[in-house]
């Protein structure tokens, strides 16, 4: 593939091409005027076996030729979306378009720099004949310049250049050449100013009232008088913001304190109205109440195990045993459900080392939160690992609930670990996978 760029500077085109390639790919190397790119292929993935070699050469007609030799491996990721050659060609066209934009921008910058060069011209001031017109005078007048009359004012000239650099100060110069009729100096440079002429370079765009502009405010400078006038306003605004923030902070602090007192009152009221408070009974500390509740739950769990169907708990087949466990979960008896768990469960969903009493409490809470229509089935039950004393079972809990607006289905992949305790299977771990 060969592309032409409208620029006679092959080095500039090569640098622009290298910059555009490095902006999109990291593996770009230069070998003289040759650029080697690794990774140009039909997909966004970089395959280092894809190789593109670019050669930049001068061409006729003040143009530069870019010759590209691209080799790549076909990718199965593209599919039938577009031909792979077309995808690679699109990437090359994008790079070449960026190169042309950079070359055009460089050409515009060079033209602007040439246009901004300082080119002063000597002219007269006050409507008299310009010094530039003297260049058209005859050679005889050049050889014998006539001095100006004494009564005429001294001629002055200005430097006329609209885009002169503002950093060049207008410095006056006095040019007093010594005329020599036989010298080649006059013949080479045409006419020079008269011996008494004074050249005072000035900026034409400078107005007579420039002194008035010096006192005006400029970007980056601060007028002391205006700064002094604005300082009280700034101080007042700052103090106003500080007072507002302080008031907001104080109001928030008071609201927080009031809310804390209200929560404390609610807690004391609830604790005072507890149904287990009996007049004349000793007042128990929170730790003692928690211990009594735990003992009551453990006793309830033990009673539930004794009341459960012994035949279902003694089932030797793990799959049938899990079916009995599912039947218990469908019921409303949390004790019968907890009877299928060990006294100490190693992992119960996201909790570790959970007692059977805690499992029973969690099952009771789950029963209370069920809707009127709630069904459970165990799907895809697989015994992944089984020994004489342990078993690991994978299954999917299929739960369907009706919340009044339609059925909601849940499929929960679950892992159950069983352990044989006193000749019967018990759940020692239950967790939801994924």
Range(s) of the chain covered by CATH 3.30.310.80: 2-115
Beta bridge partners of 54: 35, 68
Instruction: Give the pLDDT score at 76.
Output: 66
Token pair 């992992």 in the structure block, residue: 347
Buried b (16+ CB within 10 A) or exposed e, 128-164: eeebeebeeeeeeebeebeeeeeeeeebbbbbbbeeb
CA torsion angle for 286, 291, 292, 297 (degrees, to 10)?
130
Taken in order 321, 324, 328, 330, the sign of the CA dihedral is: positive
Instruction: Give the pLDDT score at 229.
Output: 53
Token pair 């009877």 in the structure block, residue: 339
The pLDDT mean for the chain works out to: 74
Q: How many angstroms separate the CA atoms of 11 and 33, rounded?
A: 8
Q: Identify the DSSP state of 219.
A: T
Count of C-beta atoms within a 10 Å radius of residue 73: 10
Q: What is the fold of 2-115? A: TATA-Binding Protein (3.30.310)
Region of poorest pLDDT, from 18-27, 113-122, 271-280, 320-329:
271-280
- pLDDT surpassing 80 at residue 167: no
Range(s) of the chain covered by CATH 3.10.450.50: 295-432
- pLDDT surpassing 60 at residue 137: no
pLDDT digits 0-9 by tens, 200-259: 544 444 444 444 444 444 444 555 555 555 578 888 889 889 989 988 888 888 888 878
Instruction: Give the pLDDT score at 119.
Output: 55
Instruction: Give the pLDDT score at 186.
Output: 41
Mean predicted confidence (pLDDT) in 161-177 = 45
pLDDT digits 0-9 by tens, 77-128: 666 656 778 888 888 888 888 988 988 888 888 888 888 765 555 554 454 4
Q: Which of 8-22, 59-73, 81-95, 315-329: highest mean pLDDT?
A: 315-329
Strands 28-31 and 34-38, bridge-based pairing? antiparallel
Instruction: Give the pLDDT score at 171.
Output: 45
Region of poorest pLDDT, from 37-46, 83-92, 130-139:
130-139
Give which of 159, 157, 158 is closest to 118, Cα–Cα: 159
Q: Identify the DSSP state of 405.
A: S
Residue 391 — pLDDT band, cuts 50, 70, 90?
Answer: very high
Q: How far is CA 111 from the centre of its chain?
A: 38
Count of C-beta atoms within a 10 Å radius of residue 375: 12
| Side-by-side strand order, sheet with 2-5 | 2-5, 63-71, 51-59, 34-38, 28-31
Q: What is the fold of 295-432? A: Nuclear Transport Factor 2; Chain: A, (3.10.450)
User: What pTM value is reported for the model?
Assistant: 0.34
């Amino acid at each position: 593939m060969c592309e032409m760029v409208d620029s006679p500077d092959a080095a500039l085109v090569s640098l622009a091409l290298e910059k555009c390639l490095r902006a999109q790919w990291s593996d770009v190397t230069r070998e003289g005027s040759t650029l080697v790119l690794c990774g140009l292929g039909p997909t966004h993935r970089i395959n280092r076996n894809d190789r593109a070699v670019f050669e930049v050469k001068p061409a006729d007609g003040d143009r530069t030729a870019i010759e590209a030799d691209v080799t790549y491996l076909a990718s199965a990721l593209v599919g039938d979306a577009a031909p792979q050659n077309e995808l690679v060609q699109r990437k090359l066209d994008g790079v070449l378009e960026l190169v042309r934009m950079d070359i055009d921008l460089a050409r515009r910058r060079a033209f602007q720099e040439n246009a901004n060069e300082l080119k002063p011209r000597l002219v007269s001031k006050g409507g008299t004949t310009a010094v530039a017109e003297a260049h058209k005078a005859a050679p005889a007048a050049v050889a014998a310049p006539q001095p100006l009359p004494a009564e005429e004012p001294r001629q002055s000239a200005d430097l006329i250049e609209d885009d002169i650099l503002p950093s060049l100060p207008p410095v006056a110069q006095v040019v007093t050449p010594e005329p020599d009729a036989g010298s080649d100096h006059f013949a080479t440079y045409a006419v020079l100013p008269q011996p008494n002429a004074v050249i005072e370079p000035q900026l034409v765009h400078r107005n007579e009232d420039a002194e008035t502009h010096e006192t005006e405010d400029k970007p980056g400078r601060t007028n002391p008088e205006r700064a002094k006038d604005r300082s009280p306003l700034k101080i007042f605004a700052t103090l106003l913001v500080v007072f507002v923030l302080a008031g907001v902070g104080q109001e928030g602090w008071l609201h927080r304190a009031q809310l804390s007192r209200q929560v404390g009152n609610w807690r004391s009221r609830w604790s005072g109205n507890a149904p287990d408070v009996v007049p004349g009974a000793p007042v128990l500390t929170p730790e003692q109440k928690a211990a009594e509740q735990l003992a009551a739950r453990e006793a309830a769990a033990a009673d539930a195990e004794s009341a459960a169907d012994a035949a279902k708990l003694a089932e030797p087949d793990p799959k049938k045993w899990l079916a009995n466990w599912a039947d218990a979960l469908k019921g409303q008896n949390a004790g019968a459900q907890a009877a299928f768990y060990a006294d100490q469960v190693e992992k119960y969903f996201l909790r570790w080392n959970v007692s059977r009493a805690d499992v029973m409490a969690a099952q009771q809470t789950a029963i209370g939160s069920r809707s009127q229509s709630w069904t459970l089935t165990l799907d895809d039950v697989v015994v992944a690992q089984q020994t004489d004393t342990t078993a690991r079972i994978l299954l999917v809990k299929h739960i369907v609930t009706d919340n009044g607006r339609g059925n909601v289905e849940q499929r929960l992949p679950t892992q159950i670990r069983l352990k044989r305790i006193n000749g019967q299977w018990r759940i020692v771990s239950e967790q939801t996978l994924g």
